[in-house]
Amino acid sequence: MRMGITELAVKLRKREISAVELAKAYIDAIEELNPVLNAYVHLTFDTALEAAGQADQLLKEGDAPLLCGIPMALKDNICTDGLPTTCCSKILNGFKPYYDATVWGKLKKQGAVLLGKTNMDEFAMGSTSETSCYGAPRNPRNTNYVTGGSSGGSAAAVCANLAVYSLGSDTGGSIRQPASFCGVVGLKPTYGAVSRYGLIAYGSSLDQIGPLTNSVKDAAIVFDAIKGVDNRDQTSVDFDYGSSLAEYLDRDIKGIRIGVAEEFFDGINPEIKSKIEEAIKLFERNGAVIENIRIPALKLALPVYYIIACAEASSNLGRYDGIRYGYRTPSYTSIDDMIVKTRSEGFGDEVKRRIMLGTYVLSSGYYDAYYKKACLIREEINREFDAVFEKCDVLVAPTAPSTAFPLNCRRTSPVEMYLSDICTVPVNIAGVPAISVPCGMDSNGLPIGMQIIGRRFGEATILQAAHFYEQNAGEVVSAYEGGARI
Amino acid sequence: MNYEIVCGIETHIELATRTKIFCSCTTEFGGEPNTHCCPVCTGQPGALPVLNQKVVEYAIKAGLALNCIINTKSHMDRKNYVYPDLPKAYQISQYDEPLCEKGYIELDSGKRIGITRIHIEEDAGKLIHERGYTYIDYNRSGIPLIEIVSEPDISSAEEAREYAEKLQLIMRYIGISDCKMQEGSMRCDVNLSLRKPGDPGLGVRTEIKNINSLSFIQKAVMAEAERQADILDSGGTVVQQTMRYDEATNTVTPMRDKENSEDYRYFPDPDILRFSIDEEKIEEIRKSLPELPFDKLKRYVNVLGLPESTARQISRYRKVAEFFEEALAEGAGVKNAANMIVGTIFATMDTEEEKELFDIRISPAQYAALIKLADEKKINIGVAQATLQKMLESGKSVEEFIKPEDLAGISDEELENLCREAIDANPKAAADVRNGKEKAINAMFGYIMKKTGGKADIRKAEVILRKLIGQ
């Protein structure tokens, strides 16, 4: 079993290994595996070793925070002062922000060691990470398969032990789905639980940053470190989670009410369905109460998601004009020509598709029929979720309708790709938290993910349920052989 | 052919908050280009706006001063358009839920010009064209603005000017903006169409953008009305378009503008939550508002009895009015206090701005002390004016310039006592006067003048002396 954050922290404090040695072990592993996996797109080894040196100093002085000296990775859409942040888009080629995202500021303060920025779908738009301008990352479980997306690089890095943990962002499933495809844990927090300041926006009312880890406990530790209200993000919420969530994972699940909505199981691969049902039985055997419930509006979630996310994206991405930062077309005849050429050359097809879709649904004459209607249905979905959480503490569902698919197979059919988000998008629409935990393998040996969904700010409950499952289900996904050797 | 003018004005006013609308950058005017900037106001990737509560408060002040309804629930929208001075490619503004609605401004004639709405929004940066390049200064990007939209109730060039002038006055009075049209902290767009008198419908309108002085508003309305009338008279039709007013030639010409029919794709800004304003807060703001200039004007004329022109000059500037009212509270008489402000203090000020600032070296109490001497006729107006000038130059009080013994006002009682003394001291002369020797009175004059250092009113003294002597 791979060491978790707590065990590594103990090792660091016992001086069995220094932070610099630990960082070097990860750097070696990245140099060995990244050429194949393409999990990282920007390597920051110099600053990593510098940070590790400082972490060693802090550890020597005692009283270092838990994450001090732990090597980790950030998705390439999280701003890092002085380090490349490109959203894996040509249009942000060479962009280095002069400010830190709030989450990175918090981790840096704890002494985190950033190894690099991870691969992703361009501007987080995609479900396979294949829309990255740096080429797709490979699934460490089988390199002919996709990692999922959009936080594919973050999932692959954690899976292949090229980082102890990573941060991703989740607008419609972008943490949970790749976590599921790669067989790791991924937590999408409640909207507002984690500051979005410095997260390059895709769908602002849906985006949330969260951790990808090897265990539920690590996810809780990282969530503890990054959560909290931020006066630079008005949508962040001052919620009192009590003390550390990581300390209360071992609570009994007896009496916990688990909702199972049949709408989540429509069109799901039977192998996945049976694994989830096994998991539900495990919960039931251990005293959980299973409630069969209905969420009829769920079938509308996908179109609602694509309308709202694309509408917001079309506005959020207007700023990439080549004037202030990033890519600028080399030859142009006027300012308008420059902006048009820069955007035409700088954005990939999927991004352009979503900008056009979003522009269309906001246009006068179409606004009421699309955007406004989507907002109304969103409210209905919220009401249905609220009603469900009166009766249940958590919902259990598949994370994705299928396991990872082969590289290059879905690129030609956008709608088919959009369908792979069907289980995850309702969670973002409702702003509730959800975690994906590995719950088995399909006949091809590819991981299956189970999604546990909670009520707003109910992270403690979903983490407890996920932790219980993880501790009691045995080894449902085989350990990845390789990566950093410690 | 005669036409009726149908005109409405949209006014953008920069609010005088200390910091910008969505970040903590300073709003100070000037400054080297791009020095009052941060990731938020330059639209860097990942930056998020945080609404400055002072902006909301200032906009509510404006709304209350313009008799508006304040919406207790409101939100911000994104107005999407592409222009190099707009770093996010959208302006955060308000579309369907403005902070304030349904107010009015009353003109001197008693006619009310309706205010449709007031909303808050951010200003854009500035393009500077130099040496064949275009430079962008984002210092102005994110400066808070309110946009005040009037109803098309204005029906003459004079009314247009008066509306804008009153609006400017009120905004300055309530202290939310300096409204300097030359510096762009107040900018007016005029919408204008013509129709035949009595015609209930509206003609095709044009919009004249960014007029930067009050007199240009008047001139532009006249020029545009004439231009449209000429078109209509010759059987043509007015084209709906955006116009520019050229001060030098006093003409209105179409702007090259391809954004006329742009679709701004407004939608609620997901980065800023809907906000509500509680009634208590609105009441608190209402109570903090000063008495407005037109209310003051009415009071000065009707209650204090000042002539309208004087009342208007004083009530026009909030600081002047405050100084005036404080001097009255210190006991100064209305007439002298008002006249000396308008006559003497204003004479030292060349510009509107100086009157607006009213940065003078004496306090209302010092001023009142001087005015009281004039009120009591202890000094005449000429002396009072000269003394006031010295006070304004030095900042010193009236006592520095007029000693008690300098006061012409030796009281009648004192003078009578002096006269008695003079008679007692000159019994022979007094007897001579009684016996018809007129010139003998000079001896007693000499005595009084000596005693008072020549300040006594000798004609008054003569009357008293003759009475006492019994002539």
* B contact set with A (CB within 8 A): 39, 42-51, 78, 80, 82, 84, 87-90, 134, 136, 263, 265-267, 270-273
Question: Is the CB of residue A369 less than 8 Å away from at least one CB of chain B?
Answer: no
What does residue A303 show for φ and ψ, rounded to 5 degrees? Answer: -60, -40
Whole-number pLDDT of residue B24: 96
Return the CATH class of domain B412-469: mainly alpha
A436-478 pLDDT tens trace: 999 999 999 999 999 999 999 999 999 999 999 999 999 999 8
- Residue B468: band (very low, low, confident or very high) from pLDDT cuts 50, 70, 90: confident
Burial B32-45 (b: 16+ CB within 10 A, else e): eeeebbbbbbbbbb
- Residue A79: band (very low, low, confident or very high) from pLDDT cuts 50, 70, 90: very high
Q: What is the DSSP letter of A201?
A: P
Sort out which chain A residues have CB atoms less than 8 A from B258's CB and list them. Answer: none
Spacing of C-alpha B267 from chain mean position = 37
Please give, rounded to a whole number of angstroms, the shortest distance from the CA of B147 to a CA of chain A: 23
What does the alpha-carbon distance between residue B118 and residue B279 come to, in Å, rounded to a whole number? 18
Question: Is the CB of residue A283 less than 8 Å away from at least one CB of chain B?
Answer: no
A308-346 pLDDT tens trace: 999 999 999 999 999 999 999 999 999 999 999 999 999
- pLDDT value at B438 more than 90: no
| A402 catalytic per annotation | no
A415-443 pLDDT tens trace: 777 778 899 999 999 999 999 999 999 99
Give me A396's structure tokens: 């259990």
- pLDDT value at A185 more than 80: yes
Question: Is the CB of residue A97 less than 8 Å away from at least one CB of chain B?
Answer: yes
Whole-number pLDDT of residue A398: 97
The residue in chain A having the minimum alpha-carbon distance to the alpha carbon of residue B22 is A232
User: Which segment of A93-97, A225-229, B113-117, B460-464 scores lowest on mean pLDDT?
Assistant: B460-464
Whole-number pLDDT of residue B260: 52
The residue in chain A having the minimum alpha-carbon distance to the alpha carbon of residue B23 is A232
The minimal CB distance from A312 to the residues B51, B263, B270 is found for B270
What does residue A125 show for φ and ψ, rounded to 5 degrees? Answer: -100, 95
What does the alpha-carbon distance between residue A310 and residue A302 come to, in Å, rounded to a whole number? 12
Pairing between β-strand A40-43 and β-strand A113-118 as defined by DSSP bridges: antiparallel
Q: Is the peptide bond before A236 cis (omega within 30 degrees of 0)?
A: no
What does the alpha-carbon distance between residue B203 and residue B190 come to, in Å, rounded to a whole number? 15
Spacing of C-alpha B310 from chain mean position = 15
B259-281 pLDDT tens trace: 556 799 999 999 999 999 999 99
Sort out which chain B residues have CB atoms less than 8 A from A197's CB and list them. Answer: 46-48
What does the alpha-carbon distance between residue A79 and residue A102 come to, in Å, rounded to a whole number? 9
The minimal CB distance from B48 to the residues A232, A314, A318 is found for A232
The secondary structure of A144-173 as a DSSP string is TB---SSSHHHHHHHHTTSSSEEEEEESSS
| A window 338-357, beta carbon within 8 A of B | 339
Rounded mean pLDDT, B98-104: 96
The secondary structure of A287-353 as a DSSP string is TPEEEEE--GGGGGHHHHHHHHHHHHHHHHGGG-SSSSSS---S--SSHHHHHHHHHHHHS-HHHHH
Whole-number pLDDT of residue A410: 64
What does the alpha-carbon distance between residue B86 and residue A234 come to, in Å, rounded to a whole number? 22
Q: What is the DSSP letter of B54?
A: H
The minimal CB distance from A204 to the residues B134, B266, B271 is found for B271
Rounded mean pLDDT, B107-113: 93
Question: Is the CB of residue A95 less than 8 Å away from at least one CB of chain B?
Answer: yes
What value does the mean pLDDT of chain A take?
95
Q: State whether A321 and B39 contact (CB < 8 Å).
A: no
The residue in chain A having the minimum alpha-carbon distance to the alpha carbon of residue B135 is A323
Kindly give, in sequence order, each residue whose CB lies less than 8 Å from that of residue B285, ignoring residues fewer than 6 positions away: B57, B60, B61, B64
Whole-number pLDDT of residue B404: 64
B226-239 pLDDT tens trace: 999 999 999 888 88
Give me the percent of chain A exceeding a pLDDT of 70: 99
Please give, rounded to a whole number of angstroms, the shortest distance from the CA of B48 to a CA of chain A: 6
- Are B171 and B62 in contact by the 8 Å Cβ rule? The answer is yes
Q: How many CB pairs under 8 A join A and B?
A: 99
- pLDDT value at A365 more than 70: yes
Residues of chain B with CATH 1.10.10: 412-469
Question: Is the CB of residue A82 less than 8 Å away from at least one CB of chain B?
Answer: no
Question: Is the CB of residue A201 less than 8 Å away from at least one CB of chain B?
Answer: yes
| A174 catalytic per annotation | yes
pTM score, whole prediction: 0.88
Question: Is the CB of residue A309 less than 8 Å away from at least one CB of chain B?
Answer: no
Whole-number pLDDT of residue A194: 98
The minimal CB distance from A319 to the residues B88, B267, B271 is found for B88
Give me A410's structure tokens: 């879905």
| A150 catalytic per annotation | yes
Angle at A273 between CA A271 and CA A277, to 5 degrees: 120
Catalytic residue selected from A174, A180, A236, A420: A174
The minimal CB distance from B46 to the residues A97, A314, A367 is found for A97
Whole-number pLDDT of residue B47: 97
The secondary structure of B183-196 as a DSSP string is TTSEEEEEEEEEE-
The minimal CB distance from A339 to the residues B42, B82, B267 is found for B82
Whole-number pLDDT of residue B84: 92
- Are A441 and A448 in contact by the 8 Å Cβ rule? The answer is yes
Sort out which chain A residues have CB atoms less than 8 A from B80's CB and list them. Answer: 314-315, 318, 362
Whole-number pLDDT of residue B368: 86
Give me the percent of chain A exceeding a pLDDT of 90: 90
What does the alpha-carbon distance between residue A484 and residue A161 come to, in Å, rounded to a whole number? 6
Angle at B431 between CA B426 and CA B437, to 5 degrees: 105
Question: Is the CB of residue A123 less than 8 Å away from at least one CB of chain B?
Answer: no
The secondary structure of A250-276 as a DSSP string is T---TT-EEEEEGGGGTT--HHHHHHH
What does the alpha-carbon distance between residue A176 and residue A437 come to, in Å, rounded to a whole number? 8
Q: What is the DSSP letter of A185?
A: E
- Are A451 and A261 in contact by the 8 Å Cβ rule? The answer is no
- Residue A10: band (very low, low, confident or very high) from pLDDT cuts 50, 70, 90: very high
Q: CA A31 → CA A85, A483, B458, distances in Å?
A: 20, 10, 113
What does the alpha-carbon distance between residue A251 and residue A268 come to, in Å, rounded to a whole number? 31
Whole-number pLDDT of residue B284: 94
Give me A241's structure tokens: 């989670």
The residue in chain A having the minimum alpha-carbon distance to the alpha carbon of residue B264 is A363
Question: Is the CB of residue A325 less than 8 Å away from at least one CB of chain B?
Answer: yes
Q: State whether A235 and B271 contact (CB < 8 Å).
A: yes
- Are A190 and A456 in contact by the 8 Å Cβ rule? The answer is yes
Question: Is the CB of residue A75 less than 8 Å away from at least one CB of chain B?
Answer: no
The β-bridge partners of B73 are B276
Amino acid at B56: V
Whole-number pLDDT of residue B455: 64
ipTM, two decimals: 0.95
Catalytic residue selected from A75, A90, A217, A227: A75
Catalytic residue selected from A150, A151, A169, A420: A150
User: In CATH, which superfamily holds the domain spanning A5-259+389-472?
Assistant: Amidase signature (AS) domain (3.90.1300.10)
Whole-number pLDDT of residue B256: 67
B329-366 pLDDT tens trace: 988 888 888 888 888 888 888 888 888 888 888 889 88
What value does the mean pLDDT of chain B take?
89
Q: What is the DSSP letter of B26?
A: B
The β-bridge partners of A17 are none
Give me B123's structure tokens: 């200003």
- Sign of the Cα torsion A428, A84, B50, B145 reads negative
What does the alpha-carbon distance between residue B128 and residue B135 come to, in Å, rounded to a whole number? 5
- Residue B432: band (very low, low, confident or very high) from pLDDT cuts 50, 70, 90: confident
Whole-number pLDDT of residue B405: 57
- pLDDT value at B407 more than 70: no
Q: CA B8 → CA A186, A227, B182, B208, B218, distances in Å?
A: 57, 50, 21, 11, 13
Q: State whether A315 and B265 contact (CB < 8 Å).
A: yes
- Are A299 and A422 in contact by the 8 Å Cβ rule? The answer is no
B163-215 pLDDT tens trace: 999 999 999 999 999 999 988 899 999 999 999 888 888 889 999 998 989 99
Whole-number pLDDT of residue B379: 76
A230-281 pLDDT tens trace: 999 999 999 999 878 888 898 889 999 999 999 999 889 999 999 999 999 9
Please give, rounded to a whole number of angstroms, the shortest distance from the CA of A76 to a CA of chain B: 12
What does the alpha-carbon distance between residue A336 and residue A327 come to, in Å, rounded to a whole number? 15
Q: State whether A200 and B47 contact (CB < 8 Å).
A: no
Give me A177's structure tokens: 């789905």
- pLDDT value at B377 more than 80: no
Detail the DSSP E strand segments found in A14-59: 40-43
B137-162 pLDDT tens trace: 999 999 999 999 999 999 999 999 99
Higher pLDDT, A93 or B403: A93
Whole-number pLDDT of residue A420: 83
Higher pLDDT, B260 or B256: B256
